[in-house]
Amino acid sequence: MVDNKLYIIIPAYNEEANIESVAREWHDIAVGTGEHSRIVIIDDGSNDNTYIKLQELQNELPQLEAITKPNGGHGATILFGYRYALDNGAHYVFQTDSDGQTLPSEFWQFWETRKDFDLLIGYRRGRRDGLSRVLVTKVLRLVLYLCFRTWLDDANTPYRLMNRDSLTQCLQPIPDNYILPNAVLPVIYKKWNYRIKFIPITFRPRQGGENYINIKRIFLIGKKSITDFIRINKTIMNYKNIDS
């Protein structure tokens, strides 16, 4: 029985400058894990040619699935992708972003140990995406600790591999349009005693296109997130108790 069906989930918004190279590189990873694996790139209502390029690429990349949907934000798009992967029978779900900052070549160290852990998550070392982003990560780590009493090396990394059973369970407390699902998921994994491992990864500068996240937007997202974190913390153990 095949149990290595991998779905690579990549959200994309106005990434026409990067999307072809990202799709090709990660398609090779999907092919390398087996014929049943897929790379799913979800266009989040872009107003450039991102989805048009994806449709063209589908003609030559057989394991690429291009999906478009109304704009809902990065977090909502990730959740859409996770649930799409599970609905289509994925045994493992991997998530990364479409800006070219992560290296597909580093995926194999995750894949080789997939059966030993429920969540394998990249730890960004030597980051080259700007001091403001590094500061945001440090602040987020502190906020997560204060809200959840859980310390995580790098909670919001867009480089993570999860198995089907654990992801199915850990998604339960998270609303469909949650703004920072990737930050909360490792918290849930840790609180529910799943097996987690952080692996150092390379994190390059954006490879092209425009960065839509600025300090003002980061501040607004952070302000809302604290309220959301406090609210979701009250539900995490309740969900676990229901399933026990």
In a domain, 1, yes or no: no
Q: What is the CATH number of the domain that holds 101?
A: 3.90.550.10
What is the DSSP secondary-structure string of 82-136? HHHHHHTT-SEEEEE-SSS-S-GGGTHHHHTTTTT-SEEEEEEES--S-HHHHHH
The predicted structure's pLDDT at residue 215? 52
Span 186-196, pLDDT tens digits: 999 999 999 99
CB distance 42 to 81 below 8 Å: yes
Mean per-residue pLDDT for 118-131? 79
In a domain, 220, yes or no: yes
Supply the range of the domain harboring residue 36: 6-243
pTM: 0.89
Work out how many domains the chain is built from and give that number. 1
Q: Which residue has the higher pLDDT, 143 or 27?
A: 27
